[in-house]
C-alpha cells in the first residue's frame, strides 16, 4: 500500500493501491508513520506505483458506504499533509502520472514537485462534490492566486501548463531527476533546512491544523445532501463506463 525503498541516503515512498493509487483511509493514515520511519534518511521522494501518482480519495470506498468522507477522510488527509509539512528533511514529489484532487493535494504539500506525464488538478467540482477547506489551504499555499482557476474550473492540467503556474517542474527522467533534486536540497545544513521549512509552512500549517477536525459546515451539509450522493454515483458510473 505504501512501499519504502532506499536509494542511497534518500528514501522513496511509493503510493501503491490499485490501478490509480486511490487514497483510502489506510493509505492516508499510513503516510505519517512511513515518514516517521524514514526520519534518518537525508531526503524523501514520494511517488506512485504504475502509471498514476494518485486519482484522489477512494470514491468507491466512500460510495460503497465506507468511512465517512468529512468525519474521517478529511482529517486523515489533513494529518498526512501536516506530516509532509513537519518532516524536517526535503520531500520531493515525483509525479509519475495523473495527480488529481487529493493526489494533487498530497503532491502540493511536498517541498518540490517534478512531473513526467499525466495531468494534475483539482477535479472535485467536475465530480459535483463540495471543495473542502484543507485542500484549498494547501493549494493556495503552493500556487497562490492560481488556486481559483484550479478549484473553480476543475481543470486537469498537462505538465506544461502546471509548470506555467508554478505547480511543478518538468522531468523526462523522473526518478533520477527526483533523487538528484532531493540530494541538491540536502546541501543546506539539516537544522537550517528544517527551520526554513517550518517558517515557510507556518501560516498554512496553522490554518490546516485549525480545520483538521471540523471543515466549513457547508462542506458537511452539501456532502450529506441526497443530490450530492446522486452526483457522486453518476460520476462513479461514468468512470466505470469509460
Ligand atoms: C470530495 C471528493 C473529492 C474527490 O476525490 S473528487 C474525485 C477526484 N478524482 C478524480 O476525479 C479522478 C477520477 N479518475 C480519473 O479521472 C481516471 O481514473 C484517471 C485519469 C485517474 C485514470 O484514468 P485511466 O487510466 O483511464 O483509468 P480508469 O479506467 O479511469 O480507472 C481505473 C480504475 O480505477 C477506478 N478509479 C479511478 N479513480 C478512482 C477514485 N478516485 N477512487 C476510486 N476508484 C477510482 C476506476 O473506476 C477504474 O475502476 P475499474 O477498473 O473497476 O473500472
What grid cell was written down for 60?
Answer: 468507491
Q: What confidence tier does 175 reach under pLDDT thresholds 50, 70, 90?
A: very high
Least confident of 67-71, 166-170, 172-176, 206-210: 67-71
Q: What is the pTM of this model?
A: 0.97
Q: Give the pocket of ligand 1 (CB within 6 Å).
A: 19-20, 22, 52, 55-60, 98, 100-102, 123-124, 127, 129, 239-240, 242
CA 51 and chain centroid, separation: 16
The dihedral through the CA atoms of 171, 35, 108, 58 has a sign that is positive
Give the rounded percent of residues in the chain with a pLDDT score beyond 70.
98
Domains of the chain (ranges; CATH) run 2-173 (3.90.226.10)
Query: Which ipTM value was assigned to this complex?
Result: 0.97
Residue whose Cα lies nearest atom 32 of ligand 1: it is 19
pLDDT tens digits, 9-37: 999 999 999 999 999 999 999 999 999 99
Average pLDDT, the chain: 95
Q: What is the DSSP string of 16-51?
A: --TTTT-B-HHHHHHHHHHHHHTTTSSEEEEEESTT
The answer, yes or no, to whether residue 191 has pLDDT greater than 70, is: yes
What is the three-class DSSP state of 165? coil
Residue whose Cα lies nearest atom 33 of ligand 1: it is 19
Amino acid at each position: 500500500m505504501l512501499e519504502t525503498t532506499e536509494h542511497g541516503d534518500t528514501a522513496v515512498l511509493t503510493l501503491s493501491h490499485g490501478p490509480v493509487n486511490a487514497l483510502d483511509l489506510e493509505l492516508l493514515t499510513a503516510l505519517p508513520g512511513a515518514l516517521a520511519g524514514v526520519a534518518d534518511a537525508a531526503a524523501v521522494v514520494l511517488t506512485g506505483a504504475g502509471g498514476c501518482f494518485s486519482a484522489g480519495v477512494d470514491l468507491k470506498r466512500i460510495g460503497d458506504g465506507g468511512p465517512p468522507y468529512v468525519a474521517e477522510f478529511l482529517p486523515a488527509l489533513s494529518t498526512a499533509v501536516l506530516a509532509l509539512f513537519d518532516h524536517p528533511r526535503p520531500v520531493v514529489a515525483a509525479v509519475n502520472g495523473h495527480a488529481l484532487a487529493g493526489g494533487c493535494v498530497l503532491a502540493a504539500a511536498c517541498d518540490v514537485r517534478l512531473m513526467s506525464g499525466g495531468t494534475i488538478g483539482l477535479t472535485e467540482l467536475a465530480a459535483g462534490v463540495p471543495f473542502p477547506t484543507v485542500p484549498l489551504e494547501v493549494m493556495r499555499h503552493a500556487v497562490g492566486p492560481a488556486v481559483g482557476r484550479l478549484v473553480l474550473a476543475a481543470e486537469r492540467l498537462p505538465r506544461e501548463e502546471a509548470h506555467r503556474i508554478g505547480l511543478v517542474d518538468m522531468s523526462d527522467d523522473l526518478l533520477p531527476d527526483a533523487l538528484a533534486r532531493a540530494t541538491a536540497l540536502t546541501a543546506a545544513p539539516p537544522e537550517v533546512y528544517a527551520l526554513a521549512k517550518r517558517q515557510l509552512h507556518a501560516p498554512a500549517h496553522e490554518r490546516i491544523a485549525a480545520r483538521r477536525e471540523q471543515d466549513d459546515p457547508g462542506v458537511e451539509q452539501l456532502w450529506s445532501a441526497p443530490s450530492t450522493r446522486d452526483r457522486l454515483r453518476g460520476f462513479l458510473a461514468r468512470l466505470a463506463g469509460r
